[in-house]
Amino acid sequence: MKNVRLLLFILMIGLLPSVLKAWPGMPLPPLHVDGRNLVDNCGNNVSLHGVAITPSPWFNGCQYGSSSQYCTWDNYDVQGCLNYNNAVMDRLTDTSDGWYLNYIRLHLDPYWTNTPGAPIPENDISRFDFNRLVTYTDQVIVPLINHAAQRGLYVVLRPPGVCPEHIAVGDAYHNYLIQVWTYLSQHPALKNADHVMFELANEPVQILGTNGNWGSTGNEHFAALKNFFQPIVNLIRNNGANNMLWIPGTGWQSHYQGYVNYPITGGDIGYAVHIYPGYWGGVRNYSDFQAGWDTNVKPIADIAPIIVTETDWAPAGYGTFGTATTGTAGGNGFGANLNNILYNSGNVSWNVLAPDNLLDHGDPNGATAYGGDWQACAAPVKHWFREFGENNYMLPQSCSNPNPNPVALVNNGIYEIEFSNDANLVLDLQYGDDSNGAVLRPFGRNGAIAQQWIAIDAGNGNWRFISAASSSDRCVDLASASTSNGTDIRLWDNYGNTAQAWTVQDAGNGYYRILSSIDNNKGWDVPNCVMDGSESMQLWDHYGTGCQLFKFNYLGSSARRIDQQTESLQKSLSVYPNPTINGNLNISLGTEEDFDLKIFSIDGKQILVERLAGAMTHQLQTNLPKGIYILKVSGQGFEDSQRIVVQ
């Protein structure tokens, strides 16, 4: 397979049936995951389109010869690199010329991060120099990212190089990625930048499975992928970086089906796929392409957003990596079926491999590549991206933002929640009582765990607040989901529903409103602002009084706390088969004790309740429709949860 380096431009898309303004300079609202979709801060589904670019001489024209007109810089010429790549961005965001791209997949190329010397393969990290990573992130990568923002471009940042053919948990390459992402996720120009996303690695091929065998498609290999990428996600989140993350699969980023059973968690997670005509046994007609997609990508695309960060095609003789024709959607050919299948999925973003796939020889002043031959990728991609952009473009100011002043809380961050009318008072779980209905109140700061709250990103600008004192992850709850004034705000079992999701809005001067996600006109309040601890928290119309405004004092992070919607809380509970085809399950706790079983939808609605007794294993016919659910069991002195999938 290939060892190529890339940058990728993406488009932000939405809905506006009117005359378009130019793309450059458009606002770039932060993107996050809502269900299977990538959405903006207004809740609009977003599809991205673009091209990949790599800032190194070879990929910036010198592959056509060091003395050719297309080779404009070399010898670590930082300004020459910036001039060329900025010019490419300018050209491919020029809507007057028909180019509608709005993101770059930016490769932090080993050309900059390796000690200079004789050429070595891109998967060889023996000459990696951390000091060069630091230097050229500042001198090359950050300036390119800043220029991208000026041109209305999102950025997907990729680490230097490609994976070796074999990777394993704890090996040298794993530790290399950990080192790189530890640095990048703390960089002030990258961390929580609205338009910057991270793609964690490029083209894993095989991984050492949990059974000790190398491979790419077995459950044991996806279990190993979970063990490989989850620690990287955890360290990024623990560094306080909430950037959108894209996770690669095996087989040069062609296999994803097992991630359904071993999903990567941590909030705002999608999956980065590569598709070429030779993948999945060859996909040069509709039936083969759809079958390959349905087997390898669709299972995870049904539950998470997808971005295709590499593809290209052209008939033989053009020199593209992928050899195929555009053809006809539903018939023979690769390109038209790619566009059709990705569009029909409804949650896929994609880009071509390089500027050379769009512009002749990658020349910023060049004509459409391949002489405009429709059977090569440049002409149809330009047409499709323009058509999509003109018909689905959204001006960010035209939408109604449900949370116009979002706060950058850290997912899994631990906070004191301080009252604005008395800096010595914080939100307190009375007596540290870990039971349903326990009282929440203002109380003097004492450093107790009962005054610590774990913020969990609930999507759409909403947050869930779990008590650090709760062994069962109980959280702040609006009683009975009632929006009547005076409704208790209390501690309750974490169901992940809207009654437990709170909209956090900036009120200025370091203070925030905490409003019900059900009714943003009402929020946290203390009755009559009685702050001596005798009054418990309630819901009330928001007037901005001192007992309705709060400061979040960050104390640290808690990687062990994961939203119930995304991961099992413990591993003692055994549920099989999982996924289940028909909803029938076997449930075992390794005990004959009685226990209660509840099943919730992914949005927290209770669907099924059973009392199970007197057997080590129970057979359950749920008759659940296809989807993802949370199964929760509880009994005398224990409680456990597990994610289940019905196919």
pLDDT tens for 61-112 read 999 999 999 999 999 999 999 999 999 999 999 988 999 998 899 999 999 9
Structural fold of domain 413-557? Trefoil (Acidic Fibroblast Growth Factor, subunit A) (2.80.10)
Q: What is the pLDDT of residue 311?
A: 98
19 contact partners, CB below 8 Å, separation of at least 6: none
> Residue 206 forms beta bridges with which residues?
166
Sign of CA dihedral 96, 98, 102, 104: negative
- Out of 35-44, 388-397, 586-595, pick the least confident: 388-397
pLDDT tens for 208-219 read 999 999 999 999
Kindly report the average pLDDT of the chain as a whole number: 86
Q: In whole angstroms, how large is the CA radius of gyration of the chain? A: 26
Q: What is the pLDDT of residue 404?
A: 42
C-alpha span between 625 and 265 (Å, rounded): 24
pTM: 0.63
Percent of the chain with pLDDT over 70: 87
φ/ψ (deg, to 5) at 567? -160, 150
Architecture of domain 574-646: Sandwich (2.60)
pLDDT tens for 2-13 read 443 333 333 333
Q: What is the pLDDT of residue 269?
A: 96
How far is residue 611 from each of residues 42, 577, 597, 600, measured CA to CA in Å?
A: 42, 20, 6, 15
Query: Is 152 in contact with 14 (CB distance < 8 Å)?
Result: no
pLDDT tens for 242-292 read 999 999 999 999 999 999 999 999 989 999 999 999 999 999 999 999 999
- How many other C-beta atoms are found inside a 10 Å radius of the C-beta of residue 568? 18
- How many other C-beta atoms are found inside a 10 Å radius of the C-beta of residue 131? 9
pLDDT band at 566 (very low <50, low <70, confident <90, very high): very low
Answer yes or no: is pLDDT of 126 > 90.
Answer: yes
- How many other C-beta atoms are found inside a 10 Å radius of the C-beta of residue 295? 14
Query: Is 77 in contact with 35 (CB distance < 8 Å)?
Result: no
Return the percent helix, strand and coil in the chain, to nearest 5.
Answer: 25, 30, 45
Structural fold of domain 9-398? TIM Barrel (3.20.20)
Query: Is 427 in contact with 448 (CB distance < 8 Å)?
Result: no
- Out of 155-164, 351-360, 537-546, 608-617, pick the least confident: 608-617
Q: Where are the domains of the chain?
A: 9-398, 413-557, 574-646
Strands, E assignment, 329-448: 348-352, 413-419, 422-429, 440-444
Burial of 463 (0-12, 13-18, 19+ CB in 10 A): buried
